[in-house]
Amino acid sequence: MLVSFFLLSLAIRNVWPQRMCPKAFLVLYMLLLLAGMPVTLLSCIPYGLFGILAATCIFGLLTCRNTAPQNVCMGMIGFVLTLVTEEVLSWLLHMLIPPAFSDLQNMRYISFGVNLVHIVLFYFMTLFCGRLLKKLLLSGKGILRLQQTWYLIDAALLLLITIYLFDDLIPGQNGSLGRMIYNNALHISGYLLVMLFLLLAMRRTWMEQMQTEAKQKALQDLQDYTHNLEVMYNSLRSFKHDYVNILLSLSGYIENGDMDELKNFFEYKIFPTKNLIDQGDYKLNQLGNIGVLEIKSLLCAKMIYAHESGIDVTIDIPDRVDSFLIDTVDLARVLGIFLDNAIEAALETEQPQIGLNVLQNQAGVSVIISNCFEDHGLMLHRLKEEGFSTKTGHSGIGLSNVQKILGAYENVLLETTMQGGCFMQHMELVY
């Protein structure tokens, strides 16, 4: 039995996606020996084999998290490859050794030689099959590059092996009603375990994908924030240079004592620059009161984009806000949807305006996003329906996603109002 578990470990090692170090091989071998104790000590063959299969899957899940579904798949393939290769080698040895010489196998040295040849042939056969399978399955092309595909393959293999173990290796029913109920219960349990594994794996993949997309969005907003800060810094340097030139121009009139010309120069040349300076004032100093970097970068990027699009932006954040009482990734997704919709709606009006208010109070934090819009008699409740959109070519899932995100929080209250050409999203984050 020690040799059998060694061969099983060897087959799994030959089909493993990565190069398996001796330490990992030893851990796998010891884990299989431990899982095979029901087979070796209790002669519980069918159920013990299922435990060995489960141990192989657990080893694949824990070895490398990044390639866990591939590890589980190749581990189960190694399990099946061991059974198939053993059957093929047994048939070959039976064909090569005549029945007249079968008694010679009981001799010590001949038996050792036969076993050695058996192990060598097993190694090279599984090595060849392993390289071929890895070349076919681990190419990373097509649908095989998706993690969901590997989870489906894992579930299918686990289901097929479970059916084989329960249907072919477990003794027949022998006309017994109890045996029939017992086997059916095992079947159903096996199917439920496989489906549970599949659902959990798919859920984990979906959560990781959503978190990755949110992190990428936050990183992009931070990059936009940094870029806009650089642009503002360059504008400040340019203004400083122009300010020095303005002072030099004024000094010429002062030295000559020509006050009338100085007055005219100031009124017609200097004073109009106030409007340019006011137009470039993004009021970003208000955003300095936001103590959460990812939220501040998102708001800054959206407000600067709105201003550059010709929208009159108003920001009011009088007090410092260091926390928002919900996950910042979810909050960034919600605020991003609100601000994108507000910008698009405001740009459809003749005098586009957007307002952002973040207020810290005793109950929590209030976030108010308002914008002007063209009122076409649209009912408010329809905006929250999944698939509905007032914009051509849009999927219309933004506000419905907001409902799903905020539905997971009991401390968040959202009020949406439309009145007098003003659309307002009022969100209360309470303690």
pLDDT in tens, 330-342: 888 889 889 988 9
| Token reading at 266 | 């100031």
pLDDT in tens, 56-66: 888 887 887 67
Residue 75: per-residue pLDDT: 85
Asked whether the predicted pLDDT for residue 375 surpasses 70, the reply is: yes
Residue 367: per-residue pLDDT: 94
CA distances from 266 to 202, 250, 251 (A): 69, 8, 12
Give the pLDDT band (50/70/90) at residue 368.
Answer: very high
Selection from 1, 3, 63, 4 nearest residue 28 by Cα: 63
pLDDT in tens, 68-97: 878 888 888 888 888 888 888 888 877 776
Determine contact, residues 7/115, Cβ cutoff 8 Å: no
Residue 396: per-residue pLDDT: 41
pLDDT in tens, 160-205: 777 776 665 555 445 555 666 666 666 667 667 766 766 676 677 6
Give the pLDDT band (50/70/90) at residue 358.
Answer: very high
Give the pLDDT band (50/70/90) at residue 354.
Answer: very high
Selection from 44, 27, 111, 125 nearest residue 83 by Cα: 125
Characterize the bridge pairing of strands 353-360 and 312-316.
parallel
**SS3 at position 312:** strand
Dihedral in degrees, nearest 10, Cα atoms 320, 322, 325, 327: 130
CA distances from 123 to 3, 9, 74, 331 (A): 13, 11, 16, 55
Average model confidence (pLDDT) for the chain? 75
Give the pLDDT band (50/70/90) at residue 356.
Answer: very high
Burial class (CB in 10 A: 0-12, 13-18, 19+), 68: buried
Residue 388: per-residue pLDDT: 46
CA distances from 27 to 23, 64, 311 (A): 6, 14, 64
pLDDT in tens, 233-279: 666 666 565 566 666 666 766 777 777 777 776 676 666 555 444 44
Which contiguous run of DSSP H or E holds residue 154?
Answer: helix 147-164
